[in-house]
Amino acid sequence: MKYKYVIIGSGPTGLGAAYRLKELGITDFVILEKENYVGGLATSFVDDKGFTWDIGGHVQFSHYKYFDDLMKKALGEEGWLTHQRESWVWIKNNFVPYPFQNNIKYLPKETMWQCLEGLIKLYKNPVSKKPANFREWILSTFGEGLAEVFMFPYNFKVWAFPPEQMNANWVGERVAVTDLQRVTENILFDKDDFSWGPNNTFQFPKHGGTGAIWKAVGELVGHENVLLNAKVDQIEPGTKKIILADGREIEYDFVMNTMPLDVFAKKVNGLSPETVEKAQGLKYSSTNVIGIGLKGKPKPELATKCWMYFPESNSPYYRITVFSNYSPFNVPDINNQWSLMAEVSESECKPVDRAALIKDTVRAMIEDKLIDSEEDIVSEFLFSTDYGYPTPSVERDSILKTVLPALEKSDIYSRGRFGAWKYEVSNQDHSLMQGVEWVNKVVLGVPELTLNFPDTANAMWGK
């Protein structure tokens, strides 16, 4: 088999590239997908009790009109529900609205003062030097109090790496910075402040979870253009051949890879041992999703919440989504059932006992007053993926500057959440557009924006 364009992986990036090729009238392409379904990390599953689960707390908001238009085409105007974001932090036995730093008035007085004092000290003695890592960025942006109370413990639970091992380049719009005047005004005048952020309203599919979107995009791409159960074993750049695990061979002119870059580098014959070794320095965390299906109705304080952050050490999870609030069809019977979806990170710096995860999660949910009793549970779900989040480590950018160009010399391009390893542009919209922009580059000669200029891409939100 020979194709001009071969796409490895059918997540949002791979599907975005395929959709764009088809849109340009190009049919000489194929997607190779190792699983028997499309969607990658944006897949949804229905458990044996009929509850729908995503692989983590996906929400739909966008920086791109192209993406928005495709979403409408995929599910139709009527296929979406729109939500006002309501996110909270559970800390000190209390819910604090997000962003945490703007709402410290909810904290006990001693803790509130610890946070405020750190901000005042920072105001009096601002840090002038550029932060060398994420830990330094947190201290120079939030002060010691907020760092110790929330930012350090929460970020370790999310990333599963100490913040000094991460760079600060990825932050952009993803963390609300702190304004001492605003924080003080909120305390004195008892103001709530939770409208910050690019996703203060978001959409979610009415039926089928996030996976329904990518199934629909897969339909637009066409089943005839996707090879399922096609695991790539090795790539021969010299002869421009891809060899699959079952022995099939596929010839290509151009390849776009979306599998994890460290794994992919080992499969490319002829890549220098130094380059392959360098790629192994990329850091990542694993993701464990625990779904708890419940009978009855959520407590009144959870009735309108979207998701909640948990910085404290009693719980294994860093975030819980009230998933039945995203769509009533995420549970079999919304009148008598509801659901919570928890996320737990994992790495060599933060090992997890997966066998005990459901039990530990239920115990913590009771401690955190989300549910009253194990007797309310009607369904339990666990999904673990070794590659959950690409870590923006201190050494990441220097690794990418070596590995990506080395591949491109052989007409092999690596894009997407793990293909390009840039967390700051790895939402669903970013990922799809990395695929679209790759096609625009190789077919039309148009430079890529999202991959090369993440800050510019993120500044486009709402435009």
- Categorize the per-residue pLDDT at 127 as very low, low, confident or very high, splitting at 50, 70 and 90: confident
51 CB contacts (<8 Å, ≥6 apart)? 291, 293, 330, 331, 332, 337, 339, 379, 381
CB neighbours of residue 293 within 10 Å: 26
Please give the sequence-ordered ranges of beta strands (E in DSSP) within 267-411, or none if there are none: 284-295, 307-309, 319-321, 337-346, 377-390
pLDDT of residue 48: 97
Residues 354 and 122 sit within 8 Å (Cβ to Cβ): no
pLDDT tens across 306-362, in order? 999 999 999 999 999 999 999 999 999 999 999 999 999 999 999 999 999 999 999
Position 173 pLDDT exceeds 50:
no
- Quote the CA–CA distance of 357 and 345 in Å, as a whole number: 11
319-321: strand order across its sheet: 94-97, 87-91, 307-309, 319-321, 337-346, 284-295, 377-390
**Average pLDDT of the residues in 399-419:** 98
**What Cα–Cα distance (Å) separates residue 28 from each residue in 196, 221, 228, 262, 356?**
44, 12, 17, 28, 48
- Quote the CA–CA distance of 180 and 187 in Å, as a whole number: 11
Position 442 pLDDT exceeds 90:
yes
Lowest mean pLDDT among 190-199, 211-220, 305-314, 410-419: 190-199
Lowest mean pLDDT among 58-67, 98-107, 245-254, 402-411: 58-67
Position 180 pLDDT exceeds 80:
no
pLDDT of residue 190: 76
Q: How much of the chain exceeds pLDDT 90, in percent?
A: 84
- Quote the CA–CA distance of 203 and 61 in Å, as a whole number: 7
272 CB contacts (<8 Å, ≥6 apart)? 406
Q: Which CATH number fits domain 44-63+76-85+199-205+284-390: 3.90.660.20, 3.40.30.10, 3.40.630.10, 3.30.720.120?
A: 3.90.660.20
CB neighbours of residue 263 within 10 Å: 16
CB neighbours of residue 414 within 10 Å: 29
The answer to whether the Cα torsion of 447, 451, 453, 459 is positive or negative is positive
pLDDT of residue 174: 46
Lowest mean pLDDT among 53-67, 215-229, 365-379, 426-440: 53-67
Residues 31 and 244 sit within 8 Å (Cβ to Cβ): no
Q: Two tokens at 44?
A: 């949804």
**Cα maximum dimension of the chain:** 70
**Radius of gyration of the chain, Cα coordinates, nearest whole angstrom:** 23
- Categorize the per-residue pLDDT at 21 as very low, low, confident or very high, splitting at 50, 70 and 90: very high
Which residue's structure tokens are 């974001």? Answer: 85
416 CB contacts (<8 Å, ≥6 apart)? 9, 11, 12, 13, 14, 258, 426, 431, 434, 435
**Average pLDDT of the residues in 64-85:** 94
Residue spans per domain, the chain: 2-43+210-282+392-459, 44-63+76-85+199-205+284-390, 100-188
Q: Tell me how long the chain is.
A: 463
- Quote the CA–CA distance of 8 and 247 in Å, as a whole number: 16
CB neighbours of residue 68 within 10 Å: 15
**What Cα–Cα distance (Å) separates residue 360 from each residue in 93, 156, 295, 400?**
18, 18, 20, 37
Indicate the pTM of the whole model.
0.93
**Position 383: which residue type?**
F
Instruction: Return the DSSP state at 446.
Output: P
**Average pLDDT of the residues in 144-170:** 96
Q: How much of the chain exceeds pLDDT 70, in percent?
A: 96
Residue 461 region by backbone torsions, left for phi larger than 0, else alpha for psi between -120 and 50, else beta: beta
pLDDT of residue 187: 80
CATH topology for 2-43+210-282+392-459 is: FAD/NAD(P)-binding domain (3.50.50)
3-state secondary structure 207-269: CCCCHHHHHHHHHHHCHHHEECCCCEEEEECCCCEEEECCCCEEEEEEEEECCCHHHHHHHEC
- Quote the CA–CA distance of 397 and 380 in Å, as a whole number: 39
Average confidence score pLDDT of the chain:
94
**Average pLDDT of the residues in 358-383:** 98
Contacts 24+ apart (CB under 8 A), 440-443: 440/20, 442/5, 442/254, 442/413, 443/21, 443/24, 443/26
